[in-house]
Amino acid sequence: MTEIARASGCSTATVDRVLNERSGVRDVTRKRVLDALSSLTIESSTDAASCLKIAFLSDSGAAFNQSLREGVNAYQAAYPNLELSFDSVLTTEVKPVQFAQQIERFSQDVDGLVLVAREDLTINRAVRAVTARGVPVVCVTTDLPNSRRIAYIGNDQTGAGSTAACLMGTSISSSNSRVLLVISAPYRCQEERELGFRRVLRSEHPSLTVEERVSSNDDFEYTYRNVRNYIRDHGPPGGIYNVAGGNTGIAEALRDEGLRDDVTFIGHELNSNSRILLETGGMDFVIGHDLDREIGFSIECLRASLKKQDLPNIPSMPVRIFTKYNCF
């Protein structure tokens, strides 16, 4: 704690409050402490990690894949002693058997693997086979708990969905109590978000009802068409909660239906697309997380596993709420 305090310019008492997630710490101070922690951890392992080859493989929508790629590239630039690679597949194009083969193929020439993947028996089997050969696997953003991965790094997705429900319950017009839920593929993070969302609506906002589940497939055109079809068949909902990708498709559908000011729209992942939507009124809230920190901690977990050390104490990633006033 003394080293972290020195690096961050904070007191050890403040460091203690941040690391133990106590209240009373400003966000800017919390960030200084966590950045110092990450920097010191990486610095202490530079020599040991000098030969590490780590592959990132992501099955997601285009916007998330791009954000992850940028984060990996930035990390590579900051720590050139590592050899990081990145590859991705769009949600609309994923075939589980082929993706499982990619996992096994990528694992042949790396020390560790970082995955963003949907829940699937074939994919789980591939991860188990890879870890059995001694290649550790970490899951980021969405988990595969039955795959024998060594760690999941991300925020509490059930808590993220609960947060969305709280925002929806206090924002939606009382005259229209229907909420449209937008989903895509069987990612555990989406299932957990939906669980938290429904739980809080049921307990705290029972007048609101989730009547439909529309698929986005993390694709703009697909989402746009399905949301407009829903509105045509059922009328406008009071709110839309998107647990998946495709935020732009939803926003464009609402704009073309003349409903931007009438429907509360909440989604996930702050990226270039959702930032523009917040700034222009296309979205009301975005639930986010710190992808850069997740990348750093995933590499630290792999390094520790390869050295037969205890995994680092990973703090719970905070759920972040973004509006047009703080999305810069």
Q: Tell me how far the alpha carbon of residue 299 is from its chain's centroid.
A: 17
Structure confidence at residue 304 as a pLDDT band (50, 70, 90):
very high
pLDDT, residue 328, reads: 82
**Which candidate, 182, 192, 184, 186, places its Cα nearest to that of 254?**
182
pLDDT for residue 12: 84
Closest CA to 72 of 295, 272, 288, 293: 295
What's the mean pLDDT in 234-241?
Answer: 96
* DSSP letters spanning 81-95: TSEEEEEEEEGGG--
Q: Identify the residue whose tokens are 């920190």.
A: 293
Q: Distance between CA atoms of 57 and 129, rounded to whole angstroms?
A: 16
Least confident of 76-80, 89-93, 256-260, 312-316: 312-316
- Mean pLDDT across the stretch 265-287? 96
Backbone angles phi, psi at 143, to 5 degrees: -100, 155
Averaged pLDDT score across all residues of the chain = 91
What was the pLDDT predicted at 48?
Answer: 46
The residue written with tokens 């009382």 in the block is: 174
In whole angstroms, give the CA distance from residue 111 to residue 137: 9
Average pLDDT over residues 146-153: 96
Nearest Cα to 61, choosing from 276, 246, 272? 246
Determine the average pLDDT of the residues in 284-310.
Answer: 93
Residue 46 pLDDT: 46
Q: How far apart are CA 2 and CA 146, in angstroms?
A: 38
Q: What is the pLDDT of residue 50?
A: 54
Residues 5, 295, 124: CA angle, nearest 5 degrees: 135
Give ∠ CA 236-164-228 in degrees, rounded to 5.
25
Q: Is the pLDDT of residue 6 over 90?
A: no
**How confident is the model at residue 315, as a pLDDT?**
74
pLDDT: which is higher, 238 or 212: 238
Give the separation between CA 161 and CA 203, rounded to whole angstroms. 14
Residues 327/275, Cβ–Cβ less than 8 Å: yes
Checking if the pLDDT of 44 tops 60, the result is: no
**HSE-CB of 171 using CA atoms within 13 angstroms:** 21
Q: What is the pLDDT of residue 2?
A: 78
Please state the rounded mean pLDDT for residues 69-86. Answer: 93
Q: Is the pLDDT of residue 231 over 80?
A: yes
Q: Is the dihedral of CA 145, 165, 269, 321 positive or negative?
A: negative
Question: How would residue 178 be classed by pLDDT, with cut points 50, 70 and 90?
Answer: very high
pLDDT confidence bin for 49, thresholds 50/70/90: very low
- The model's pTM: 0.83
pLDDT at 60 over 70: yes
Lowest average pLDDT, out of 23-27, 245-249, 277-281, goes to 23-27
